[in-house]
Structure 1
Amino acid sequence: MVLQSHDVSDLCIGKPPVRWLPPSSTVADAIAEIEAGGGRGPDAAVAVWDGTKGEVDGRVCMADVHLFLCGGDGEAASLASPAAALQATLSDLLAAGAPPVRRIEPHASVVEAVDAFLDGAHCLVVPIRERWRRAAAAGEMCMCWLTVEDVVRFFVGCIGLFAPTGLALRFLSSGISPRGHAPVAAGDRALSAVPLLSAALATHSSVAVITGAGIAPRLAGEVSPSALCSCDVSVAAAIAALSAGDLTAFLHRSDLRCRRNLPGMVDLLYAGDPSSWPPSPSSSSSSSSSSSSLSSFSSSSDDEAEDGYKHYAPAPCARRDNNRQIIACHPGSSLVAVMAQAVAHRVTQVWVVDFDDGELVGVVRFLDVLWVLREHLNQPPLIYPSNFSSINPSTKLR
C-alpha cells in the first residue's frame, strides 16, 4: 500500500527550512520575521524554537497573531492594549491556546504522519537530513514543516489507487457523514466568532457565516484561518468593529460594506513607542497606508451600490484573490472529488450544501478524509476477479 511504502522524507523534498525565533521573542518580532520570509500567506509561519536539537515549542502564523490580539476578556483583552499585546512573548501567545505541533522523524511512514494529525497535531516538524543541507555540517539543526495539506496532496497524486479503498464512493458509502459545524450569523459581531476561529484553526476548518439561522441556514460566506494568514495586524481592528458578514466581505471580496469608522482602531494597533515595533518594509509603511486607505472607507460617498451599500477601496490587509469563491459540494459527491477540489483551491475543508434548496448541511475536512483512509488500512484488502479493473468506469466524480 502506498501509505506504508513511502516515508515522511518523500513529502519533504524541496521544502525550505523553517524560520524560527526563541520563545522569549515578542509577537511583534514574529510579525517582522513572517514579513521578512516573503510575505504573509497560509504557509508563512515561524517556529518557536531555540535552534538546537530540542523540541519545537509551537508554530506561529498571522492567524495566531490576530486571534491573540482579539483574545481575552475585560481588562485582560489584548485589544484594550494592543501595543502591549504586540510586546508579549511568543511563550505567552502559545499559552493562550495556539494549536500544538509534533516532531516526526524523516524515516517515519506516511501512516505515522496521518496518525499524528488524527491524534491532534496541527502541524508536523521534520528534521531535514544532514546530507540535504550544508548548514547541518556546521552543527546547525534544520527542520521543515509538514502540513495536513501536504499529506492529502500526496494522496491525490496517487488517486488511481483510491478506488479499491472505497474513497471513490459517496460520503455515506465511504463511512463518513458531513460533519456538523458551529456557524455564526452574518449579523453577529465578528468578535463573537473568535473562539470558533480558534477551534477552526486547530482542526483545519473555517467558520461558516450563515443567513436564515434556525430555519434553513444558507452559507453566505466564511471566515477562514488561511484568509487571516494573508492579512496584516489591521484586520484585528476589523474583527473588533465589524459584523461577521461585513468581515467576510472585508477579507474575501476586498471591499468593505459597512458604515463604521476603522481608522481609530487601526491607530490603536500601531500606537506606542515606535522603537518597540521592529522595522520592516511592510510594517513601517502599514500604519500610514492603513489609515489613509481606511479613511477612504468612511469619507467616500460616490460609489453607491444597487443594494444600498457603499462599496469601498480594497482592504489594505487583503492579499488574496478578489471575489474568492466558497468551495462547496453536495452530499452525493465522492471523497476523491472533494479532495481534488480542496487541493486545487488550496483549502483544507469543503462545505456540504443541499443540492435542491442550497441549505448548509455540514463540512468535510481533510482530517475526515484522513480518518477514512486510516480506517480502510485496518480492513483486510478487497479481493477482485483477475479481469476486474481497479477503476470502475461507472464511478462518477462530482
Structure 2
Amino acid sequence: MAESVLSREVADLCIGKPAIKYVEPSATVREALRLLKRSGASQLMVWADNKCLGKISMVDVICYLCRADCLAAPMQALCSSRVALLLSNGSAELVGHVDRHCSVLEALDEMSSGGAQSLTVPLRRHSRANEDGALGLCWITREDLVRFCLSHIGAFSRVPAVSVESLGIIQADVLAVRYDEPAISAVPLVARAVAEQTAVAVVCEEGRLVGEISPAALANCGETVVAAVATLSAGDLTAYIDSSGPGGPPEEAIRAVKARLAERAMAGMLDLLEKAHFLDAYPAVASSSSSSSSSSSSDEETPTRRVARLCRTRSYSARMGRRPDDAIVCHPWSSLVAVMVQALAHRVGHVWVVDRDYRLAGIVTFPAILAVFRDQLQPTSINE
C-alpha cells in the first residue's frame, strides 16, 4: 500500500504553491533583503544564466552581518556587498530539480540520497524568469513530504506507532551552546543549523534544554536582531527572540540592547537600528528619553540587566515546548506519529529529545523521519 501512495505525482504537492522569487548574484545584499521582506518569501533562489546557484534566506543575511568587519560597518555591508557572498560552498547542491510528473518516491530519493534540502518543480511546461522577479518554479520542501506521509499514515503499517528510540532515529550529535556563552559565538552553529535545517540548543550547566536559537525565529526578527546577537548571551538572546511578538521585542529589551551597543562603542550597529527604522513601530521608545533615563538611573536595575531579567522571569516549565515560539520537545518513548504532528503543527523541521529530567538527549529531524518511510519499501523495514 505504501508503494501506491509514494507513486503519486509530485505535482500533487505543488497545488497552491507560489512561484519562486529569485535574485541575481550581482545584486546587493540590501536588494535581496528588500525582496525577502516585500515578497514574504522565506528564501530566494540565486539565479543567473538560466541556472540555480543556490538559495539564500534572512538568516544568511543575519549570519553575514555578524562577521567582525560587517559589525563595524553594517550599513556599508548591506549596500555594497553582493549576494554571491552569502552563498556557501556547495550551495547549488542543496537545491534539487525534479519534473512535476515524477513520483513522490523519486522526490524522496532526491532529498535523501541526493542531499537536497529543497526541490524545484516546474509550475508550467517551461520555467524561466519573468519581469516580476518570479520563476516558473515552486519549492517542494522536506516539510511538504513529511506532511504528505502523515496524511497517508495508514498506508505505512505499524511504523507510526513505534517510538523514535526503537526506530533508531534519535541523533545524539546536536548543535548546542551554553546559556551563558556570548550569542555571537553561536553564529557558526547557526550557519550549520541553516545547512542542516535544524537549530542550536541552549542548555544549562546540568545539560537541560532551556531554549533554542532557531533560524526560523531569527528570520522573523529581521536583520536588526544582529544587534542583540552581538551584545547578549545565548540565554538572553532566546528570551529576546521569544518575547518578540508581531510588533517586535518589548521596548525595555530594545533599550537594553541599545545601551549595550553604546557601552561597547558599536556606533555602526546603532546606525543600522536607526536607518532600518527599527523604532518606527515603537513610538513610545523613541519619544520616552526622560522615562528611559530615570529608569537607568534607578538603583534597582540597570538597562544592561533588563534582558537577563526577561529570561529569568520565564519559568522553566513554560519553556518546555508549550508555546509555538519555544523549543519543541519529545521523549525517547514518543511515537513517530506524535513527533510528526508536533513538528508540523509548529512548522519546525526538528524536535528535541529530552529525558525524564529534561536533559537534552538528542534530536529527531525531518530527514530521519523521511528515511523511515523510505525504508518501508525495503524487504526488511522493521521487525515485527
Instruction: Provide TM-score, normalisation by structure 1.
Output: 0.76
Q: Matched residues in 2 for 1:178 and 1:31: separation?
A: 34
Counterpart of 2:216?
226
Secondary structure class of the residue paired with 2:145: helix
AA of the residue aligned to 2:188: P
Say if 1:78 and 1:18 are closer, same or farther in 2 by CA, change over 3 A: same
Q: Matched residues in 2 for 1:115 and 1:45: separation?
A: 23
1:202 aligns to 2:195 (yes or no): yes
CA contact (8 A) 1:249 1:257 kept: no
Q: Matched residues in 1 for 2:326 and 2:334: separation?
A: 18
1:30 positional shift: 0.7
Say if 1:283 and 1:117 are closer, same or farther in 2 by CA, change over 3 A: farther
- Sequence identity (%): 38
Q: Matched residues in 1 for 2:282 and 2:267: separation?
A: 9
**Where in structure 1 are there 5+ consecutive unaligned residues?**
273-281, 315-320, 385-398
1:89 aligns to 2:82 (yes or no): yes
Q: Matched residues in 2 for 1:18 and 1:251: separation?
A: 28
Secondary structure class of the residue paired with 1:116: helix
Counterpart of 2:147?
153
Over aligned residue pairs, what C-alpha RMSD do you find? 3.8
CA contact (8 A) 2:217 2:325 kept: no
- Which of residues 39, 42, 45 in structure 2 aligns to 1:44? 42
Q: Matched residues in 2 for 1:252 and 1:240: separation?
A: 17
CA contact (8 A) 1:190 1:240 kept: yes
- Which of residues 175, 184, 187 in structure 1 aligns to 2:177? 184
Counterpart of 2:358?
358
Say if 1:98 and 1:298 are closer, same or farther in 2 by CA, change over 3 A: farther
Q: Matched residues in 1 for 2:74 and 2:151: separation?
A: 44
CA contact (8 A) 2:375 2:381 kept: no
CA contact (8 A) 1:205 1:349 kept: yes
AA of the residue aligned to 1:250: Y
- Which of residues 14, 17, 26 in structure 2 aligns to 1:15? 17
CA contact (8 A) 1:64 1:98 kept: no
CA contact (8 A) 1:171 1:331 kept: yes
1:31 positional shift: 0.8
Say if 1:174 and 1:292 are closer, same or farther in 2 by CA, change over 3 A: same
1:241 aligns to 2:244 (yes or no): no
Q: Matched residues in 1 for 2:283 and 2:223: separation?
A: 13
Say if 1:15 and 1:283 are closer, same or farther in 2 by CA, change over 3 A: farther
Q: Matched residues in 2 for 1:210 and 1:81: separation?
A: 32
CA contact (8 A) 2:177 2:203 kept: yes
Q: Matched residues in 2 for 1:153 and 1:373: separation?
A: 12
1:293 positional shift: 4.2
AA of the residue aligned to 2:65: L
- Which of residues 127, 141, 160 in structure 1 aligns to 2:122? 127
Q: Matched residues in 2 for 1:342 and 1:44: separation?
A: 18
1:313 positional shift: 12
1:65 aligns to 2:61 (yes or no): yes
Q: Matched residues in 2 for 1:58 and 1:135: separation?
A: 15
Q: Matched residues in 1 for 2:309 and 2:180: separation?
A: 22
Instruction: Provide TM-score, normalisation by structure 2.
Output: 0.78
Deviations 1:130-176 (Å, cap 9, x if unpaired)?
49x9999xxx9511111111111111111222334x23211232232
1:263 positional shift: 5.6
Q: Matched residues in 1 for 2:198 and 2:215: separation?
A: 8
Counterpart of 2:332?
331
CA contact (8 A) 2:72 2:268 kept: no
Q: Matched residues in 1 for 2:70 and 2:83: separation?
A: 14
Q: Matched residues in 2 for 1:383 and 1:252: separation?
A: 42
Q: Which runs of 4+ in 1 moved over 3 A?
A: 95-99, 133-136, 255-260, 262-267, 269-272, 282-302, 308-314, 380-384
- Which of residues 164, 167, 173 in structure 2 aligns to 1:171? 164
Secondary structure class of the residue paired with 1:49: strand
Say if 1:148 and 1:134 are closer, same or farther in 2 by CA, change over 3 A: closer
Aligned residues: 349
Counterpart of 1:391?
none
